[in-house]
Copies of this chain bind each other. A is one copy, B any other.
Amino acid sequence: MKQDKVILLSNDDSYRSKGFEAAIEIARRFGRVIAVAPETPQSGMSQAITIHNPLRLNKVREEEGLVVYSLNGTPVDCVKIALDYLFRDEKFDLMISGINHGSNAAVNVMYSGTMGAAIEASFYKIPSIGLSVTDHDPNADFEGAIKYGVKIVESLLNGDVPLPLCLNVNVPNIPCSEIRGIRLARQTRGFWREEFFERTDPHNRKYFWLTGGFENSEPTAQDSDEWALANGYVSVVPVQVDMTAYGQMEQLKGLL
């Protein structure tokens, strides 16, 4: 493949994360890389945008074929300022968000800043990939995510892709050699239940840390992304944004 593509990057772990470097490594194989990433970690920021605060932008790195900006905003802010301000006239071939430290499978797609940025890019008719490994460790192993990320990027850049396109790609936290391949899947049904850890500060005031666990409503569903991950596959879920519950329309017609 000719290395003549233009790739937009963002993430939610900030431009200083190991996963972001891994995403740069993937993208550089295909051409020129333009990145706008958050100044500070923005995990769990979902599709959030910054309305009440001013945004500050800094160019933090520039070398042959790569430029990186940081923004004191959310992942979605980063994509918006890249596409509606900084690089309005650039023609991007692809957008990669990540590589995220932690799973964005199942309903995590809704809370994820990584996926927020990927979804946002798809609104600009740029094929986008949110790429994650199921390991929160700052020093997570990205070998499998790089290998399969490259494969997927290659397929999208060479193929006839439907637009808008946004892929939620998750890579299991196992040695790269043990990954069994790529599996197209649907979003697993389930939800989070939280546990709030209570602490007391030195001024004797209470505060809380939000923690929780995912409850999988269909652990045996072989077409689900959680099943794919649990069985050693890279899961790929195409994402769309029409949240209408069409299946409830008839019943609600009678009710309202």
Contact = CB atoms under 8 A, between A and B. Distances in A.
A80 B56 CA distance: 31
Contacts of A52: 41, 43
A245 B54 CA distance: 35
A31 B49 CA distance: 35
Given A47-B110, A49-B111, A184 B249 contact: yes
A62 interface: no
A77 B210 contact: yes
A82 B254 CA distance: 32
Interface stretch (A138-146, A172-180, A188-196): A188-196
A210 B49 contact: yes
A208 B54 contact: yes
B46 A84 contact: no
Interface residues of A, number: 78
Interface stretch (A15-23, A92-100, A153-161): A153-161
Contact of A81 (B111, B199, B208, B247): B208
A133 to B, nearest CB: 17
Given A119-B110, A195-B84, A242-B189, A47 B50 contact: no
Contact of A208 (B47, B85, B238, B248): B85
A162 interface: yes
Contacts of A44: 48-51
A237 interface: yes
A239 interface: yes
Given A46-B48, A196-B84, A255-B161, A205 B249 contact: no
Interface string A29-47: 0000000000001011111
A252 interface: yes
Contact of A210 (B55, B109, B205): B55
Nearest to A81: B196
Interface string A76-91: 1100110011000000
22 contacts: A41-B52, A44-B48, A48-B113, A49-B210, A54-B208, A73-B210, A80-B194, A81-B194, A81-B196, A84-B194, A85-B196, A110-B119, A110-B241, A161-B251, A162-B252, A186-B242, A186-B244, A236-B252, A238-B252, A239-B245, A240-B244, A243-B243
The 8 closest A-B pairs by CB, nearest first: A240-B245, A238-B245, A46-B46, A54-B207, A123-B191, A46-B47, A186-B244, A84-B194
